[in-house]
Every structure is written in structure tokens, then in C-alpha cells.
Amino acid sequence: MTSAGKCRSARTQNFRPRPKRATGGSLNFGGSLTTAGGLVFISAAGDSTLRAFDVETGKLLWGGDLPASAQATPMTYRTQSGKQFVVIAAGGHSALRTKMGDYVVAFALP
């Protein structure tokens, strides 16, 4: 807020520079999904992989290949029989120069 009480729009030049990554990682271009079973799914990096992490340890548990990159937030659903799926839209991102496509991909949870 300015002293006059009006909001000032945030512009990228006002943001602090990104810290240097000491151990790797990636900018995130979408949201995450956390399941009741303690899994965190993310597929918002610059590659074509949906990843599952342990919510407690952060350890990578699984990675599934996608036909295009997915700068999107995964979602989940459960069928009437109780089977749970994680779904992601994989369409790519032309400005990021990632692999393009037009897919919706579902993975069944064990």
C-alpha cells in the first residue's frame, strides 16, 4: 500500500531477483495437488513429467512421462468402485518453448 492507502500494482521489476539454486530445482508454472494419503503431485516444470513426492519428507516417489509438458495443476477423482486417479492437462507452453500437445492424461493410484 502507498501512504495514500491505494494499492500499487506489482511489476516484475519490483520483485527481488531469484536466488541461485544450490542443489537444483525448477521454477514452477502451475499448482500442486496433495492427497489425503500424503502424496504431492506436481507437473509444472519445463519438462514432460508428472511427479509424486512424499508430503512429509519431500522425497521423489514416482515420475510419469507425459506426451507434452504440463504447466497445469493436477486434479484427482475417485470412481464409484473406489479407484482414485490423478489427471493432468498436458498442452505445453509456447512461450516457454516446451513440448506442445493437446492431451488430458489420467494415472491410477495403487
74-92: pLDDT as tens digits? 999 999 999 999 999 887 6
Read off the C-alpha cell for 55.
508430503
Handedness of CA 36, 37, 42, 48 (dihedral sign): negative
The stretch 50-65 carries a mean pLDDT of: 93
Residue 4 confidence (pLDDT) above 80:
no
CATH T-level assignment (fold) for domain 26-108: Thrombin, subunit H (2.40.10)
**What torsion do the CA atoms of 50, 107, 60, 97 make, to the nearest 10 degrees?**
-10
Half-sphere exposure of 38 (CA within 13 A, CB side): 8
Task: Measure the CA–CA gap between 61 and 93, rounded to whole angstroms.
Answer: 26
Read off the C-alpha cell for 64.
510419469
Task: Give this prediction's pTM.
Answer: 0.70
If you average pLDDT over every residue of the chain, what do you get? 77
